[in-house]
Amino acid sequence: MKKILALVMAIMMMVVAAGCGGSDGKSSGSSSAGGEKKITMGFSQIGAESEWRTANTESVKQAAKDAGIELQFSDAQQKQENQIKAIRSFIAQGVDIIAFVPIVETGWDTVLKEAKDAKIPVIVVDRDVKVADDSLYVAKIGTDSVKEGQNVFKWLDEYMKKQNKTPRAGGDQFQVVVLEGTVGSSVAIGRQNGFKDAMAKSEDGKKFNILASQTGEFTRAKGQEVMESFLKSDRDKIDVLFAHNDDMALGAIQAIEAAGLQPGKDITIISIDGVKGIFEAMIKGKANCTVECNPLQGQLLMETAKKVLNGEKVEKLVYVDEGVFPADVAEKTLPERKY
Ligand code: GYE
């Protein structure tokens, strides 16, 4: 009996040993790869309107590579209809998960319902959607645009006081012009509302007047063009430019110089994003402050996608961290900037 037992044990040990020997890099690799199918993500980006957007796209592509996720990338060229088409094609292909940056807030209910019916989870990235049923997406990763707008006013109010500024055209109100982002986008709405709310709630709010506010579509070229038209009617009145993004501020700086004024001095300039270009302008004294909006959302997106597909619970709304950078810290900060 003992002998038989010993024999059985010996045989078992041989089998285990052979098993271990056999499971070298290759065979263990293939077995786990076989069990763990590669994830495919369909990603609909809105386009390449700004430095920020380029950084956002790079972040998503790099993070997908790092996470071993296959990314089906689609560029919508600033059109919602192209995004809807892309999402429908992701559904038809049967991707594992869909992520998208909604160019505007509304108009997504139908296509997101189609994804839900196909049991494909959707993650909203960067901008917000307004849908009747929140269960149409599993998570939203992005930035707090209302807070960004509030931070713009807070900084501006303090700066004008510290600098002992007075309105260029006299009177008791600073005249502000605003270059807004894409019409109907959650970020343009949020930044504008945040700014106006903070202004309305502040004791100093009465010291500021929004003289003109128009979209510059988040691009440098349009920012320049709209600033030109602001200057044409109010060259000697404008005290402040608030641009919803840095790129529009950079375009506007050219218009201000062409009008014979000094950007950053005659006109105080504050914008949002924190891209390298605006840091360079701040170092030259041509812009005064940027409120950061972090485009590096790729890693968090891939981690969230994996959790969702593993059936783990995820936060419905995650904001990435951001700061405020006035011109006097620009030189020191620029080398550390990642986008
Ligand atoms: O500020 C702007 C970009 O949606 C937060 O879109 C983003 C904005 C960003 O084009 O530069």
- Phi first, then psi, for residue 54 (nearest 5°) are -60, -45
Q: What is the reported pLDDT for 252?
A: 98
Q: Is 49 in the pocket of ligand 1 (CB under 6 A)?
A: yes
* Whether pLDDT at 30 is above 60: no
* Whether pLDDT at 8 is above 70: no
Q: What is the mean pLDDT of residues 262-277?
A: 98
Q: How far, in Å, from the CA of 68 to the mean position of ligand 1? A: 27
User: Atom of ligand 1 at shortest distance to CA of 101?
Assistant: 4
Q: Is 127 in the pocket of ligand 1 (CB under 6 A)?
A: yes
* Whether pLDDT at 334 is above 70: yes
Q: What is the reported pLDDT for 4?
A: 53
Residue 129: which pLDDT band, with cuts at 50, 70 and 90? very high
* Whether pLDDT at 258 is above 50: yes
Q: How far, in Å, from the CA of 40 to the mean position of ligand 1? A: 26
Q: How far, in Å, from the CA of 218 to the mean position of ligand 1? A: 7
* Whether pLDDT at 87 is above 50: yes
**Residue that is written with structure tokens 């990235």 in the block:** 125
Q: Is 103 in the pocket of ligand 1 (CB under 6 A)?
A: no
Q: Is 241 in the pocket of ligand 1 (CB under 6 A)?
A: no
Tell me, what amino acid is at 209? N
Q: pLDDT tens across 291-331, in order?
A: 999 999 999 999 999 999 999 999 999 888 788 999 999 99
CB-count burial class (<10 Å; 0-12, 13-18, 19+) for 139: buried
Q: What is the reported pLDDT for 322?
A: 80
Q: Is 273 in the pocket of ligand 1 (CB under 6 A)?
A: yes
Average pLDDT of the residues of the chain: 91
* Whether pLDDT at 169 is above 90: yes
Q: What angle do CA 315, 80, 244 make, to 5 degrees?
A: 70
Q: How far, in Å, from the CA of 310 to the mean position of ligand 1? A: 31
User: Atom of ligand 1 at shortest distance to CA of 244?
Assistant: 1
Instruction: Give, as one character, the DSSP assignment of residue 108.
Output: -
Q: What is the reported pLDDT for 37?
A: 83
Q: Which SS3 state, helix, strand or coil, does residue 267 take? A: strand
Q: What is the reported pLDDT for 321?
A: 77
Q: Which of 183, 82, 200 is nearest to 127 (CA)?
A: 183
- Enter the tokens of residue 87: 């999402």
Q: How far, in Å, from the CA of 136 to the mean position of ligand 1? A: 23
**DSSP-derived secondary structure for 147-178:** HHHHHHHHHHHHHHHHTT---TTSSS-EEEEE
Q: How far, in Å, from the CA of 169 to the mean position of ligand 1? A: 33
Q: What is the reported pLDDT for 106?
A: 98
* Whether pLDDT at 279 is above 70: yes
Q: pLDDT tens across 219-244, in order?
A: 999 999 999 999 999 999 999 999 99
